[in-house]
Amino acid sequence: MRVLVISDIHANYTALEAVLKHAGKVDETWCLGDLVGYGPDPNAVVELVREIPRLTCILGNHDVAVIGKMPFETFNGDARRSLERHEKVLTADNMEFLRSLPQHTKVRGKATLAHGSPRDPLWEYILNTLSARLNFDHFDTPWCFVGHSHIQCMFLQNGSNDRVTLEPTKPDTLIKLHPKLILNPGSVGQPRDRDPRAAYAIYDSGASTWEPHRVEYNISEVQKRIREAGLPEKHALRIAEGW
């Protein structure tokens, strides 16, 4: 089964469109959360995600906040301003869709899905081998797919020596999966690994493979909409440089 794995779209409709076109035909799509926040297109993104067939989707921390289950004060000033706007403009149907999604981990076959981490699904960032090590005991499947950090990467726990390493991943390079791994497809709408291209991955559940990808999209068009919406300038600047 060919599965599209996406995360952290952050109201960037143009990037999401580019990813869906680039990925082509898939059997299922798994979204690891944060449909809203930062970007200019919250309704367009949610509506497009709602139309994806055979979708499994969980909530990210920005999603949870916009539906009223987390205080906006939890976020920094720029992120909070975007969420306040998104709360005002999201339609009732799109709000209801977000409220219907789970905010906990979800198991799909050999994979555990989490937004932040299996230990703390909404908030914890897995950014280094220490945070990865603390999470390997919190899922029973061979691998776990996470988002939240906006960084396309993979952590490996070696069963023979219990060593945890950060393994490099390269776009368009197939990775053969084996226990035990934590993998991040990167961010569709706001990458933070100094590569501004939209990020995603293809997981083949039958072959047990993972293939990360990057795709270019019209960043200047999104920057224009961010500015027209009166959102923080920081959100426009960072998508052009991937930080």
pLDDT at residue 102 in the model: 97
Cα angle for residues 231, 236, 241 (degrees, 5° grid):
155
pLDDT at 160: 87
What is the predicted pLDDT for the residue at 142? 98
Quote the Cα angle for 127-186-199, to 5°.
Answer: 155
CATH topology of domain 2-239: Purple Acid Phosphatase; chain A, domain 2 (3.60.21)
Q: Which residues of the chain have pLDDT under 70?
A: none
Q: Which long-range contacts (CB under 8 A, 24 or more apart) does 168-176 make?
A: 169/212, 170/212, 171/212, 171/213, 171/214, 172/211, 172/212, 172/213, 173/211, 173/212, 174/209, 174/210, 174/211, 175/209, 175/210, 175/211, 175/212, 176/208, 176/209
The predicted pLDDT at position 159 comes to: 85
Beta bridge partners of 28: 3
Domain boundaries, the chain: 2-239
Extract the tokens encoding 97: 């869709």
Report how far residue 24's alpha carbon sits from residue 22's, in angstroms, rounded to the nearest whole number: 5
SS3 36: coil
Q: What pLDDT does residue 3 have?
A: 99
Between strands 28-31 and 2-6, the pairing is parallel
Q: Tell me whether strands 181-184 and 143-145 are parallel, antiparallel or unpaired.
A: parallel
> What pTM was computed for the model?
0.98
- HSE-up of 89 (CA within 13 Å, CB side)? 18
